[in-house]
Structure 1
């Protein structure tokens, strides 16, 4: 059996755990495919765990212990590994943070909020205080720092190719004072203008066309080189990773319909910049429908 790429067990708890998993599997003379036989987890999923890039769920750990004869070792340790280096964003988001650094493409839908990598400090603070009103200054500072550290996802030229669909209400329902909202939206537009991501706005008048599968909350599709895509959905206090190929494909197709229902990128960018300008002038942004009858919009057609 050919040896896999060496794993640095000293890099962290997940890597140490994964290296032991690979050692025990190879000691038993089993392939990845043989090890996951009988459970609903893919070969690539187990491989990612061995490399310290994914966390081991309890049911898979129990299966592995049974197959490898490891007397409950992996089941006993999987929760400790999951909690190791837990980030303040929420433990359910840990795997997404790990995957972002390896993704080639990221497509995202946001029905209510500006995505984390594009959020400036006032916006982050407002969100944190809404979710945890009694947050301490220390934790607040850490959460702001952690989230701003993710700005590279859309601002780094070497980052993944990103495509973002925002619902129009994100522009028109201010989470901050008008001056801060103007600065926040101007930042979103500036990053898009630099090529950080491709923006699309789903106008309120578009109704449910294409958006029904996504109305529950944030949806992120991550695609990789040499590994199957994964989908992540998130609500206020929880997140869910979807890896089953047929389900991911359903979401991918639904996302294509969502993009078809949304406004074109250049028109969407103009709408973001117009909203920023309205806030700057102390006004709440007009809806896209009302702008259709106004002069000055690029290529507007009723």
Structure 2
């Protein structure tokens, strides 16, 4: 049984599509079909029902999933057991939100490189649904994301930290220093916001809709650096995680506005898949994140560590 056929099976099972699995894995659809048929012959059972253009796991296919994941876990363990744990090498794939990659991770990444110079680190950003899929599909080793407190049975969560979301503007903005600014007044100002689909933007939209108001930003972007640049030029107001603007708040260039609106709070969270084998570089990264950010009191902590 080849590991690549096992990986292909898991991806097809996750996506419930031969064509989408082929696209993500870089194979032709015909190659995926051949691999699944080969695996079914080796196991002596049908893994998928194919009815028209739709596929569905058979009962035996569903039962094979935990065994398939264990096979990949054991294979990864075999690849790493002879390495020198004190000098990690190989790859570390980190999934994260763009705002966290810009505002929180740079200093930690620099320290990690100093500790593990032989590790090749890659950062993968996306919307929250895309990041969750990266964990499920083993496209990242760890996920550091911003959202409401989120838990899935297949995850191990090792840290979470509350992150206030604030209205922010230049210290020179006409509304700077005012208290209990009506939300209606904020919405008349030029707004530079993150793109739709971001968790805290969605919560703000719900508050605005509940008051029968409308929001028309002049700028929408997933890059918080662009938004911060606009704020520094006194080009409007934004609604951002406080960590994204903290250094400018400390320097007196930006200010948090006092707005008559419910406080929105999200959580930065670090997770990995429960069936993931913890490589030395993953262990080092998790330890460093715990040192710099700290665990949550109700998090169980890393499992199956080296």
**Normalised by the shorter chain, which TM-score bucket?**
under 0.3
- Which has more radius of gyration? 2
TM-score with structure 2 setting the length: 0.27
Which one scores higher on RCO, CA 8 angstroms, separation ≥ 6? Answer: 2
* TM-score, normalised via structure 1 length: 0.27
